[in-house]
Amino acid sequence: MLETAVASLRFGASMTLGVRFNLRSLERLVGAMLETTREFGGIGSEGAELLAGPGLDDDTRREMQLRRFRSQALRAMRTTSYYGNLFAQAGLDPAELSHEGIATIPLTPKEALRGDPDAFVNRTVRPSLRATTTGTTGWPTSVQFSRYEMRALVALASIAVILRRQVEADDLVQIGISSRAILGVTGVMGACANIGAAVYLAGLLDPEHTLALLTERRSIPGKRERVSVMSTYPSYLGEIVETGLRLGYGPKDFGLRRLLVGGELLTQGLRARCQRLFGPVELVSNYGMTELAPFGGNVCSQEHLHFDPSGGLVEVLDLETRRPAGHGQAGSIVATPFFPYRETTLLLRYDTEDVIRTVAGPLTCEMRNLPATSNILGKRRLSVRHDGGWTFLRDVVEALEGVEAVPLPARFGLWATSDGVGVEVLARSDAPEVGDAIHSRLEQEGVPVRELRVVTDRAALRQPIPLRGDLRDGSLAHAGGRGGSNGSSPPRPHAAVLASGGAS
């Protein structure tokens, strides 16, 4: 307990003063949280408050973030070629920046990082891991991380998971994200290893195979009988739900109690259909990206996206003027991850292209001490500007996934028309009543549909929005149709059903 008190103080000092995490203390804190959970059944609200730090008023938060931004900007100017050149050309001195002056620093676009990732690497730090994005929206972007960052990332992920009781020691955890998403995989695996949960990296397999894994009964001492937690993308989850319902699976076939989803938009329609397949399962979503990790956001029960101000600076810039968005307006997230969370690939004012809406306080949710925006509305480059304003992916996908005739995940395209948008969507039927239902639902969500094209063949979509669920990891078991490399077949509790479903 005394060591824990010291570790808590060190953690608090890093959070509030921006000094380097002491990794031993951080890991000690994780151990203490596990001991506390084991002894008392969980961490109380006081523990959560202790780790989150005190809620800051706006002025204090601005002051703290300005100090941290200046410090990170100085580090970036002195140690990276990209920001060394940028500050020299702009004639800016990071040490003199005011809060308003931050806006004078040019945004860092994705293309700059993608084009020359090494120009952002701190030359005083030894990188040990090159992580790449999955490349769903283009050529993968690579980001370097040091050993310190990776250990901190795992410890911080563990703290978050333990605090929210997302994974417990008796859980069987299946990771259903791309095996190339090394940061997400490392974070979940590391947290599971710390907690003592059994974890398995399944990757993105054919949905039938994933369903077989989810329904497989195991007899690991001290663990649940079937997979109890799965981490995945919403679109892949949609595919599993769709396939599972089609193949006749139901809640009794699964032992899932929690789904951790991120990387895409989680809709109410998906939530509802998920319950039909898995029963009363909890869906937890968050916001994170390789470029900013471990800085990210958490979604509260009121669907706000909350950011820890000690982890980085979040600016919300108007989609057209690129000036700070006003209350209730849409804008894209421009983020600067701070030290001590980020020391290798330094990014200042990184334009994530993720669109949100600002929210006016006072907040009443359980995370009200943290600044918040709306939940993610979609990527800016995939949003559509028309005479009536903007239509975002969330408006469309919430509507489509709320229509039973649209299979999950909603596959659709979106384009601008003169005074609204055109939508093409894959549906189970192109009957007129299906089109009417979709049209009506889109209008309910405020989508000004001027053209609607309903297709029943996925290949007929002209410009479908890319989905992470379409990424695939190879599976030897399905490659040749003759079982795995050792000649054995994958577990098939529903072999007859699977045979009729086939492998795609």
Partner 1 sequence: VSAAYLVVAATTVVAATLASGYFRRFQPMRPPIGVMNLRDVVIMLGAIVALPYVYLTLPLWVVAVLFSGAILGALYFVWEPVLESRARIWTACLLLLGADLVLALTRGTTDGGFLLVNNLLLVTVVVGVTNLWAQSGMKARDVAVLAVGLAVFDVIATSRLTVMTDLVTRLSGMPLLPVVTWRASGGARGLAIGLGDLLLASLFPLVLRKSFGRRAGSVALVVSVCVIATMLAVIDLRLVRTPIPAMVVLGPLMALQYGYWRARRGSERTTLEYLRAEPLPSGTSSEVAPV
CB of 7 to partner 1, least distance (A): 9
- Which listed range, 2-10, 170-178, 398-406, 479-487, lies at the site for partner 1 (CB under 8 A)? 2-10
Question: Which residue type, as a one-letter code, is found at position 138?
Answer: G
- Which listed range, 49-57, 133-141, 227-235, 430-438, lies at the site for partner 1 (CB under 8 A)? 49-57
Of 196, 199, 268, 270, the C-alpha closest to 233 is 270
Of 139, 237, 130, the C-alpha closest to 468 is 237
What phi-psi label fits residue 279: left (phi over 0), alpha (psi between -120 and 50 degrees) or beta? left
Is residue 367 within 8 A of residue 298, CB to CB? The reply is yes
CB burial readout 296-331, b (16+ within 10 A) else e: bbbbbeeebbbbbbbbbbbbbbebeeeeebeeeebb
Asked if 32 is part of the footprint of partner 1 (rule: CB under 8 A), the reply reads yes
CB of 46 to partner 1, least distance (A): 4
- Which listed range, 26-34, 307-315, 326-334, 400-408, lies at the site for partner 1 (CB under 8 A)? 26-34
Q: Which is nearer to partner 1, 32 or 305 (CB)?
A: 32
Residue 133 main-chain phi, psi, to 5 deg: -75, 165
CA pair distance 8, 159, nearest whole angstrom: 12
Q: Which is nearer to partner 1, 42 or 501 (CB)?
A: 42
Total interface residues for partner 1 by CB under 8 A: 24
How many residues are listed for the chain in this entry?
A: 504
- Which listed range, 14-22, 36-44, 119-127, 419-427, lies at the site for partner 1 (CB under 8 A)? 36-44
Q: Is 180 exposed, middle or buried (0-12, 13-18, 19+ CB in 10 A)?
A: middle
Q: Which is nearer to partner 1, 52 or 103 (CB)?
A: 52
Asked if 38 is part of the footprint of partner 1 (rule: CB under 8 A), the reply reads yes
In this chain, which of 21, 25, 27, 51 binds partner 1, going by CB under 8 A? 51
Q: In the chain, count of helices (H) and strands (E)? A: 15, 19
Asked if 44 is part of the footprint of partner 1 (rule: CB under 8 A), the reply reads yes
Q: Which is nearer to partner 1, 10 or 110 (CB)?
A: 10
In this chain, which of 12, 22, 23, 36 binds partner 1, going by CB under 8 A? 36
Asked if 50 is part of the footprint of partner 1 (rule: CB under 8 A), the reply reads yes
Asked if 35 is part of the footprint of partner 1 (rule: CB under 8 A), the reply reads yes
Is residue 224 within 8 A of residue 198, CB to CB? The reply is no
Asked if 312 is part of the footprint of partner 1 (rule: CB under 8 A), the reply reads no
Asked if 96 is part of the footprint of partner 1 (rule: CB under 8 A), the reply reads no
Asked if 195 is part of the footprint of partner 1 (rule: CB under 8 A), the reply reads no
Asked if 2 is part of the footprint of partner 1 (rule: CB under 8 A), the reply reads yes
CB of 5 to partner 1, least distance (A): 7
Longest CA span, the chain: 70
Q: CB-based contacts of 488: which residues, under 8 Å, 6+ apart?
A: none
In this chain, which of 18, 42, 484, 491 binds partner 1, going by CB under 8 A? 42
- Which listed range, 45-53, 69-77, 111-119, 435-443, lies at the site for partner 1 (CB under 8 A)? 45-53
CB of 51 to partner 1, least distance (A): 8
Cα separations in angstroms, 179 against 152, 387, 440, 469, 472 = 21, 42, 39, 12, 9
Q: Which is nearer to partner 1, 31 or 464 (CB)?
A: 31
CA pair distance 313, 294, nearest whole angstrom: 13
Asked if 496 is part of the footprint of partner 1 (rule: CB under 8 A), the reply reads no
Is residue 134 within 8 A of residue 468, CB to CB? The reply is yes
Asked if 459 is part of the footprint of partner 1 (rule: CB under 8 A), the reply reads no
CB of 44 to partner 1, least distance (A): 6
Asked if 43 is part of the footprint of partner 1 (rule: CB under 8 A), the reply reads yes
- Which listed range, 37-45, 66-74, 193-201, 353-361, lies at the site for partner 1 (CB under 8 A)? 37-45
CB of 132 to partner 1, least distance (A): 36
Would you say the C-alpha torsion 430, 432, 434, 438 has a positive or negative sign?
positive
Q: Using omega within 30 degrees of 0 as the cis cutoff, is the peptide bond preceding 251 cis?
A: no
Residue 327 main-chain phi, psi, to 5 deg: -60, 130
Q: For the segment 161-190, give every residue that binds partner 1 (CB under 8 A).
A: 165
Residue ranges in contact with partner 1 by CB under 8 A:
1-5, 8, 29, 32-33, 35-36, 38-44, 46-47, 49-51, 165
